[in-house]
Amino acid sequence: MTNNTAVPLFNLQKQHDSLKEEINKAALEALNSMKWLLGPKTQQFEADFAKALNAEYCVTCSSGASAIQIALMAAGIGKGDEVITTPFTFVATTTSISLTGADFVFADIDPLTYNLDPKDVERKITPKTKAIVPVHLYGYPANMPELMAIAKKHNLKVIEDCAQSHLALCAGKYTGTWGDAGAFSFYPSKNLGACGDAGAVVTNNKEIADACSSIRHSGRSLGKAYEYDREGSTLRMDEIQAAILGVKLKHLAKWTENRAKAAELYRKHLAGIKQVVLPPAAPEGWSQSYYVFTIRVKDRDGLSAFLKENNIGNAVYYPVPLYKQPCYAHLNCKAEDYPNTEAAAQEVLSIPMFPEITEEQIKIVCNKIKEFYNK
Ligand SMILES: Cc1ncc(COP(=O)(O)O)c(C=O)c1O
């Protein structure tokens, strides 16, 4: 085992090094502008990110978690409401629902895409249900056409969790532009990552955009200094992050293309290994952002340990479904109600994926996976 065979799960250093001068210059401009919050770079980034997604409005905020929270609040979701979501996601999806005062209710996932199963969503609707929060897990779009049809039929709001799905296309439209709003994370490792915490809500609804602008800014009535329409909080993104994200956004389309090319190479080099199930191929008009490349395998924990011994980064997103987390023990959810989530949590494994990954690195990963199953 030598260090030159190491393939990390992510490689933020390479990307940062390639843009360092531009990032430093933009960040210094923001720093010296003395407009450290909601300044011109924030406004520019909001216009550019909305444009990149063919959306009308973008309202930046402090994180992906706060984006989900303020989008739900802006859509009128709060105490006494139920919100249906997936248990196979990062915990911020549910904590953000809880912070609005609403209760979340889990529906099971589709076994192939790992995203919300629309049929189970419909089964979970009660008179209290007011919204659905689909997550586009790993960057594969949730079944928005079916989820939107259910939402329309039952008069529900839809807030998409797009933390992992920047520029993923769902039936010809970007994720985040199907529902009432899309919530994005710019956490450093995300496809578009800040140098710190940051997020954004994207919407085509002016009322929701205005409400988000107010909620992130202490609930201020827009354009007023000390008048408040509603309660909000301090959930703004700072100007330095806007400057950095502005530099990186110009490269997002190319990075997304590179991820898709890397995914195709994985498909080629992993084809034929019977213990490995590849991620589903996206149908015509759909595309994946490949935040991570996630395979489904036999003896997942054995393979994970073997790859780690060989310096190949890998991780399980997510090993413990949310209904099994100690913080949700009081909900008394039954694992047998979520068979597809249970199975996925035992078998998924994410392997190295970043825009700069080379074919040689991909071959190293695939050869080690073959070696493990040939033992
Ligand atoms: C699916 C999902 N939802 C929400 C979030 C929350 O984003 P942030 O870490 O920016 O709050 C993340 C990011 O980790 C995520 O992966």
pLDDT tier at 4, thresholds 50, 70, 90: low
The closest-lying atom of ligand 1 relative to the alpha carbon of residue 291 is 16
For position 6, what pLDDT does the model report?
86
Nearest CA to ligand 1 atom 7: 64
CB count in 10 Å sphere of residue 40: 14
Beta bridge mates, 217: 234
* Least trusted range by pLDDT, from 1-15, 241-255, 269-283, 324-338: 1-15
Nearest to 61 by CA among 183, 198, 194: 198
CB distance 106 to ligand 1 below 6 Å:
no
The closest-lying atom of ligand 1 relative to the alpha carbon of residue 135 is 1
**Per residue in 267-294, pLDDT tens?**
999 999 999 999 999 999 999 999 999 9
User: CA 98, CA 152: separation in Å to the nearest integer?
Assistant: 24
**Per residue in 81-101, pLDDT tens?**
999 999 999 999 999 999 999
User: CA 56, CA 64: separation in Å to the nearest integer?
Assistant: 19
CB distance 163 to ligand 1 below 6 Å:
yes
pLDDT more than 70, % of the chain = 99
**Per residue in 159-202, pLDDT tens?**
999 999 999 999 999 999 999 999 999 999 999 999 999 999 99
CB distance 161 to ligand 1 below 6 Å:
yes
For position 375, what pLDDT does the model report?
87
Domain range 252-374, CATH class: alpha beta
What are the backbone angles phi and psi of residue 283, rounded to the nearest 5°? -70, 170
Query: If one looks up domain 12-249 in CATH, what number appears?
Result: 3.40.640.10
Q: DSSP class of residue 4?
A: G
pLDDT tier at 1, thresholds 50, 70, 90: very low
What are the domain boundaries of the chain? 12-249, 252-374
- Which one of 185, 190, 201, 350 would you pick to mutate in the ligand 1 pocket, going by the greatest count of ligand atoms within 8 A of its CB? 185
| Whether residue 333 has pLDDT greater than 60 | yes
CB distance 192 to ligand 1 below 6 Å:
no
Q: Chain-wide mean pLDDT for the chain?
A: 97
* Contact between 204 and 55 (Cβ < 8 Å): yes
* Contact between 67 and 184 (Cβ < 8 Å): yes
For position 5, what pLDDT does the model report?
61
CB count in 10 Å sphere of residue 228: 13
Q: Return the SS3 of 315.
A: strand
Tokens of 3: 């260090």
CA 107 from centroid of its chain's CA atoms: 18
pLDDT tier at 2, thresholds 50, 70, 90: very low
Same topology between domain 12-249 and domain 252-374 = no
CB count in 10 Å sphere of residue 146: 15
Q: Return the SS3 of 352.
A: coil
CB distance 202 to ligand 1 below 6 Å:
no
